[in-house]
């Protein structure tokens, strides 16, 4: 399947004015602009190719995913009928190592999105300089409609369908949107049963009881925290007392709220799929966590005023952390943004159309392929421990994670200064150079 023929997302664009007109409840993904994520990724790749004077042959290789596997996933539902879902596992480039990337379960997943995310993983692993390539997977499904048994059967059948391209030296999945350690345990068990051998290194993000690593949970949040601290330091903005807005308060945004608060920042606004709350004096993150645990959403928290999803981006703050789905920062949002710095905890939250607007406004963006690379770095540590058969101490995981992220930020900041470009362009340039060097060194077979 050629990249130009990959299917496009069907996400609907809904303007903030619709909220103000009282058009009914609006989910956070309703603000995703209609766009093709693969084309957006190619724009950034092409720009990096120009910046680095990339060899045209290597450029053509990187513009084409290595493998696009689409599979039917038939599942017997609890009522006895068979439902057929569509799934993908895509490899973008594996020159630097096995494909690495999460698996997401979401009703809007399609080939274009998964391909873009796979390519992002190629560049993300290169930015933090770990020996992986880029991969990604997904199933078009709303997991909230499935029973636990249906979810397990879905996971195991999907694993069987993509099993030929999986393995510790081929492709190592991890959790992503709407998947977790339990799903990874099912995946690992299914693959191990098929191969007749124990394969703890075949997935990461597993529970500790089956070979997971201490420090993996919250690693993405920790990496975002490292980047937030580093960028504020470079900009001369004091960390203590600075204001933060977090859009998306789940597996990444939730722990990050505690980390920012512990570092002395004021988390003044947060939002999730249910709504958003704002308190200029700073939200009580502990009370918010208790409310979230009871209600399943930050909406309705008594310690803050309700704001719309659109208004959340307009809140004045030093730092905005988009930590939900991709494409939430379009041109219109970029013009209204109230933050001075954006640290991208989500994958692809900023559309290419927004980048020049943010730059013209002097808003510094720490890109996703750097900012949220803490998760894949911890996954690398888990994979390495599985290969060694030896578990590291939690302190060692934390210190190595911090150093890896600090080194990656320093390299990206240095590249930005050398090329006189913003951090996103610098990160892609750095990543493309590293991948291109590996491709040139290995050569083309046959």
Residues acting as catalytic residues = 136
The number of beta carbons lying within 10 Å of the beta carbon of residue 73 is 22
Phi/psi of residue 318, each to 5°? Answer: -75, -35
How many residues does the structure list for the chain?
Answer: 446
* The token pair that represents 390 in the structure block: 């030896």
First to last CA, the chain: 22
Question: Coil, strand or helix: which one is 384?
Answer: helix
HSE-up (13 A, CA, CB side) for residue 256: 38
Q: How far apart are CA 206 and CA 410, in angstroms?
A: 30
Which residues neighbour 150 within 8 Å (Cβ) at sequence distance 6 or greater? Answer: 75, 77, 78
Q: Which segments of 324-393 does DSSP mark as H helices, in order? A: 331-336, 355-360, 368-371, 374-388
Among candidates 206, 187, 184, 183, which has minimal Cα distance to 195?
Answer: 187
How far apart (Å, rounded) are the C-alpha atoms in residues 288 and 232? 25
69: β partners: 89
Residue 128 phi/psi, 5° resolution? -90, 0
Contact between 327 and 346 under an 8 Å Cβ cutoff? The reply is: no
Angle at CA of residue 198, ends 136 and 106, nearest 5°: 25
Report CA-CA distances (Å) from 110 to 83, 99, 138, 178: 18, 19, 8, 15
- Per the CB < 8 A criterion, the answer to whether 367 and 40 are in contact is no
């Amino acid at each position: 399947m050629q990249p130009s023929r990959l299917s496009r997302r069907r996400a609907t664009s809904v303007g903030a004015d619709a909220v103000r007109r009282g058009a009914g409840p609006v989910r956070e993904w309703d603000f995703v602009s209609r766009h093709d994520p693969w084309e957006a990724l190619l724009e950034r790749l092409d720009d990096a190719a120009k910046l680095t004077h990339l060899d045209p042959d290597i450029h053509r290789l990187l513009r084409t995913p290595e493998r696009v596997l689409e599979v039917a996933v038939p599942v017997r539902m609890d009522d006895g009928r068979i439902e057929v879902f569509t799934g993908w596992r895509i490899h973008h480039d594996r020159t630097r190592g096995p494909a690495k990337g999460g698996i997401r379960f979401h009703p809007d997943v399609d080939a274009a999105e998964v391909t873009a995310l796979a390519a992002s993983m190629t560049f993300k692993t290169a930015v933090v300089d770990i020996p992986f390539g880029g991969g990604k997977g997904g199933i078009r499904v709303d997991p909230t409609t499935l029973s636990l048994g249906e979810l397990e059967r879905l996971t195991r059948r999907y694993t069987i369908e993509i099993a030929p391209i999986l393995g510790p030296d081929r492709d190592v999945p991890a959790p992503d949107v709407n998947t977790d350690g339990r799903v990874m345990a099912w995946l690992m068990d299914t693959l191990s049963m098929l191969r007749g051998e124990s394969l703890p290194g075949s997935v990461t993000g597993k529970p500790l009881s089956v070979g997971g690593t201490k420090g993996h949970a919250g690693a993405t949040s920790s990496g975002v925290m490292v980047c937030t601290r580093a960028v504020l330091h470079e900009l001369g903005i004091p960390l203590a007392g600075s204001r933060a807005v977090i859009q998306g308060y789940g597996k990444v945004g939730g722990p990050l709220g505690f980390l920012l608060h512990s570092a002395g920042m004021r988390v003044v606004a947060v939002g999730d799929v249910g709504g958003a709350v704002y308190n200029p004096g700073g939200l009580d993150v502990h009370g918010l966590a208790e409310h979230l645990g009871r209600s399943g959403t930050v909406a309705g928290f008594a310690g803050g005023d309700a704001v719309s999803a659109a208004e959340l981006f307009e809140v004045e703050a030093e730092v905005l952390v988009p930590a939900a789905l991709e494409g939430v920062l379009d041109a219109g949002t970029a013009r209204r943004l109230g933050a001075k710095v954006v640290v991208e905890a989500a994958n692809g939250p900023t559309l290419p159309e927004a980048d020049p607007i943010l730059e013209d406004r002097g808003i510094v963006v720490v890109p996703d392929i750097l900012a949220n690379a803490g998760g894949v770095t911890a996954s690398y540590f888990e994979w390495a421990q599985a290969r060694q058969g030896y578990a590291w101490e939690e302190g060692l995981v934390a210190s190595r994670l911090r150093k890896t992220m600090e080194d990656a930020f320093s390299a990206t900041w240095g590249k930005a200064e050398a090329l006189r470009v913003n951090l996103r362009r610098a990160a892609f340039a750095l990543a493309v150079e590293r991948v291109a060097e590996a491709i040139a060194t290995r050569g083309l077979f046959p």
